[in-house]
Amino acid sequence: MNLGFLASHRGSNMQSIIDACKGSSLAANPVVVISNNEESGALKRAQAEGIASYHISAKLLGDESKTDERIAAVLSQHDVDLVVLAGYMKRIGPQTLQAFNDRIVNIHPCLLPKYGGQGMYGMRVHEAVIAAGDRESGVTIHLVNDEYDRGAILAQEKVEVLESDTAQSLAERVLTLEHSLYVDTLSRIISGEIDLPV
Ligand code: GRF
């Protein structure tokens, strides 16, 4: 299975998946990385790994529709079977959604449907969990549709929120789980244990 990544920043989830492919614990090929952010760690990681990488953004191309068209074209050119969002901060456009219908997955650092939607990303999610006094948070992996964080949930795992937790300490524990759950979920998709809609 060929994986295409979309990532905006650090790219640590993407890296853990690439490492699993290299270590043969995941039967997949990371074939392309796309970022809207030229300075992203994700693009640097792709270059270091010798994976084709593209900076594609509306700022560069002038509008969202051209950006969407270009992203869909690049993913198709590289024969991507599954699109993996790994900290991608932009909404996926209709052309990409149509071309990869039910073949785009995303990771969110809490238990959706809580704390999802536009504007809920990064440390904001963990701050909201702490502010609400929740005793548990976790990680969700879901299919992507045209609504932020609302596609079908494929996998979810919980993390206890400790009395002593700050948003930062919670984020660190959740991120460790993200890395293993993303690899595990992709592996279950590849083996057919998780059935994606046909
Ligand atoms: C992760 O917390 C992920 O859940 C969210 O964005 C963050 C990306 O981190 N969607 P990284 O770029 O993979 O290190």
What are the sequence ranges of the domains in the chain? Answer: 1-101, 105-193
Ligand 1 atom with the shortest distance to the CA of 171 = 2
* Amino acid letter, residue 67: T
Give Cα 88 distance to the centre of its chain: 6
Coil, strand or helix at 124:
helix
| Ligand 1 pocket mutation, candidates 149, 168, 175, 177, criterion most atoms within 8 A of CB | 175
CATH dotted code for 1-101: 3.40.50.170
Tokens of residue 36, six digits? 């809207």
Q: Is the CB of 87 under 6 A from ligand 1?
A: yes
Task: Kindly tell me if the per-residue pLDDT of 24 is higher than 90.
Answer: no
Encode pLDDT of 165-178 as tens digits: 999 999 999 999 99
Quickly tell me which residue has 């919670």 as its tokens: 170
The CATH architecture annotation of domain 105-193 reads 3-Layer(aba) Sandwich (3.40)
What average pLDDT does range 87-107 have in this prediction?
Answer: 97
CA distance 171 to 157: 14
Q: Whose CA is nearest to atom 6 of ligand 1?
A: 87
Q: Is the CB of 43 under 6 A from ligand 1?
A: no
- pLDDT-derived band at 148 (thresholds 50, 70, 90) equals confident
Give strand pairing partners of 143.
105
Q: Is 108 a catalytic residue?
A: yes
- Tell me which residue of 182, 189, 166, 195 sits closest to 109, measured CA to CA: 182
- pTM equals 0.97
